[in-house]
Chains A and B, each alone.
Chain A
Amino acid sequence: MTDKVAAIVKKYGSHSSQLVSILQDIQAEYNYLPRTALDKLSKKLDIPQSHVYSMATFFRAFSLKERGKHICNVCQGTACHVRGADLILEALERQLGVERGQTTADRGFTLETVNCMGCCATGPVVKIDDEFFGHMTNDKVEPMLSKFKE
């Protein structure tokens, strides 16, 4: 882990002003922000741990908890909302048995929401990992999830 964090920090020239980008890369590597990585980061950049944590908790993109294998992101932007995005979120909560922000017991999925993904015309939109699903309806939820279940 030390090596990976060091490599990411080096990529950004050890600038603490690049903290958000550094945290994004760490999260991309581990799927969340592991405590040990954040400890390492604070030492590497020579900034207090409290500062690292203030950043990691301020921005909603970051998770301090380990997330599932697949990240299911439900867009809650206005364009998706007026086409019933909250009903899609509820359907996903029912089918996965978790609330938004939570991870399923088998660590298969983490259910998250996002405020806009920039493809409003195709709303309501759900993104699982890197794949987009547009014009979502309640009955499309189950087939969509089954694509990602082993």
Chain B
Amino acid sequence: MASKLKTAKALAALQKKLAEEMDTEKCRISLCNGTACRPYGSNPVADAFKAEIEKRGLADQVEFKITGCHGFCERGPIAIVEPGNVFYQRIQVSDVPEILDNTVQKKAPIERLLFKQDAGAKAVARQNDIPFYTDQQRIVMGNNARLDPTNIEDYIAIGGYSALSKTLFDLQPDAIIQMVKDSGLRGRGGGGFPTGTKWETCRKAHGDIKYVIVNADEGDPGAYANEGLLTGNPHSVLEGLIIGAFAIGSHQGYIYVRNEYPLALKNITMAIEQAEKLGLIGKNILGSGFDFSVRVNRGGGAFVCGESTALMASLEGKTGEPRAKYIHTVERGLWDKPSCLNNVETWANIPLIINNGAGWFSKIGASGNSGTKIFSLTGKVNNTGLVEVPMGIKLRDIIFDIGGGIRGGKKFKAVQTGGPSGGCLPEKLLDSPVDFDSLLKAGSMMGSGGMIVMDEDNCMVDTARYFLTFLEEESCGKCVPCREGVKRMRQILTDITEGKGQVSDLELLTELAAHLKDSALCALGSSAPNPVLTTIQYFKDEYEAHIKDKKCPAGVCKALIRFSIINEKCPGCARCVKPCPTQAITFMGKQKPVVLDQSKCIKCRTCFDICKMGAVSIE
């Protein structure tokens, strides 16, 4: 690695040198080795590439890069081959030699590894032609595929840290804050508070010691956008943080990372060490006289620590309990000093604004909601993954164009945004724009970018019960409305899913929800009713089916369903007999339907999943 950079000129020179080195005739293969590609076996594939390149002595012809998340997690392990922008998917170790041959000899792409939306569709060779990518605007996530996150030189080569250099030498703190204000950037952690205003208040707050904090405690279950960014491009977050610190007048930063994200922890820690070595963090950064150091803290698996005051308590070495925010954390936060906390994605947007200008940024997205937002598109959608879209895009465009519609030809039922604090939106709202204000109006929220798609097989009462169970476990217990209110709501919902609901329950749930919204200490409690309220509002018929008819239309709630064998469809293949954990299914001879003993059936769904003939029914 290069030696310590003492001036802006030295950084610019290094950048020029690295960019020139990159600009060779070499073929480039960048393999995604993000957290989601690993269960598919991307690690052995990466090893195979390295071994094969060494074995054949191809190092001077092929540049092989292991990168963070490319976004299209559904099709992992994935790789991009340049030149040609070829997108290979579901790569196995055995495919590696062929990919190398093909790349080096510049042959046509390997057909079987190309993307097809379904078996009969035409193969698409270039990544930029795949519908999953065409409708996205990957300004923040896009660089993930271009760099090895464990090598700071890769980031510098594509212009990294030039925004920092510009900040330190060409801009005054007030001008930076004005830029961020003019860009219209709003907090990506969910609340959508204007970032520039937050910075300005913190800069003006009294006190010599101030802190800047990265909230990487992405606790929303079903959201992993921050993980993808922190793992795939840690320096972009770090650069944003240093710029913010300079603007606010802070010399110490903290990055609070969930401990469930080991790879993100490793990469950000390594990024800090490398930035320190190059003099981009530490004393007298690039000779500007500005000092800044940063420390990584790990979370302990408490969802409430995503809340700013709870996070700061945890940073102080206390239990992660929130406090009432009569005085905001920008005035008195960590150790009672003015503290500016922003989400991972918010920080990563900062270098883009500095480099390209506030005007450029404010033109992306929708009015009052500028820029892009990264969503983790998951659940029952065909193309799952991390998608970055301009704000104001329609839900329908994300789910059906980028997401490729619902799996297995099933019918769309709901999309859940905003994690446990958000809500479930029905089909009739699919044409509403995705931005902070519209989602809030619909009863949900942006949250940290989870977007979980549900189909006809998902029960909305069960979904509400699921979120309340989660929140009951995660409630810190400090304030009574949350500790007791969430618990009671969960009990009522459990009763409904078990067929013990009463007609008056819906009214009681709504009443409890109103009290909780008004009186809980922090957002965990005050937004806890959202999943319940939206499901009652948009899916009341499902609640009524559970309460009045004692039926679960989606076939999920165990107490209300019954498995049975459709005799006409069962060929007696007995595939389901052995896997049944309670031996409830008896083989009656070939060509004869099996028999299911209801008294033994525990409704584990194993037979339903195994049967290829559709001979198991759920009523």
**What residues of chain A have their CB less than 8 Å away from a CB belonging to chain B?**
15-21, 23-24, 54-55, 58-62, 76-84, 87, 90-91, 94-95, 114-123, 125, 132-135, 137-139
Contact = CB atoms under 8 A, between A and B. Distances in A.
Contacts of B604: 87, 90-91, 94, 138
Contacts of A134: 39-40
B36 A20 contact: no
A60 B302 CA distance: 6
Contact of A83 (B379, B470, B606): B379
Interface of B: 35-36, 38-40, 73-74, 76, 218-224, 227-228, 259-261, 264, 297-303, 314-320, 376, 378-380, 384-385, 416, 419, 450, 452, 454, 458, 463, 466-467, 470, 473-474, 476, 579, 581, 604-606, 609-610
A138 B580 CA distance: 10
B42 to A, nearest CB: 10
Given A20-B314, A61-B259, A132-B38, A118 B300 contact: no
Nearest to A76: B221
27 contacts: A17-B316, A54-B319, A61-B259, A61-B260, A78-B378, A79-B221, A82-B452, A82-B463, A115-B221, A115-B470, A116-B219, A116-B221, A116-B260, A117-B260, A118-B264, A119-B224, A120-B73, A120-B378, A120-B450, A121-B36, A121-B76, A121-B384, A122-B39, A122-B76, A133-B39, A135-B39, A139-B606
B36 A120 contact: yes
Nearest to B304: A58
Contacts of A81: 221, 463, 466
B300 A24 contact: yes
Contact of A23 (B219, B224, B228, B300): B300
A62 B302 CA distance: 11
B317 A120 contact: no
Contact of B606 (A21, A23, A138): A138
Contacts of A17: 315-317
A59 B317 CA distance: 12
Nearest to A17: B317
Contacts of B470: 76, 115
A122 B385 CA distance: 9
Given A16-B317, A81-B466, A91-B604, A118 B297 contact: no
Given A58-B320, A118-B35, A134-B40, A139 B579 contact: yes
Nearest to B38: A132
A19 B264 CA distance: 20
Contacts of B476: 58
A15 B300 CA distance: 17
Nearest to B581: A94
B385 A20 contact: no
A135 B227 CA distance: 20
Contact of A139 (B221, B299, B301, B610): B610
Given A82-B458, A119-B38, A132-B39, 6 more contacts: A20-B298, A20-B314, A61-B300, A61-B301, A79-B222, A80-B221
B385 to A, nearest CB: 5
A58 B36 contact: no
Given A58-B319, A79-B378, A122-B40, A137 B300 contact: no
B218 to A, nearest CB: 8
A95 B260 CA distance: 25
A138 B603 CA distance: 12
A16 B317 CA distance: 6
A118 B458 contact: no
Given A17-B317, A134-B39, A138-B604, A82 B380 contact: yes
A91 B581 contact: yes
Nearest to B319: A58
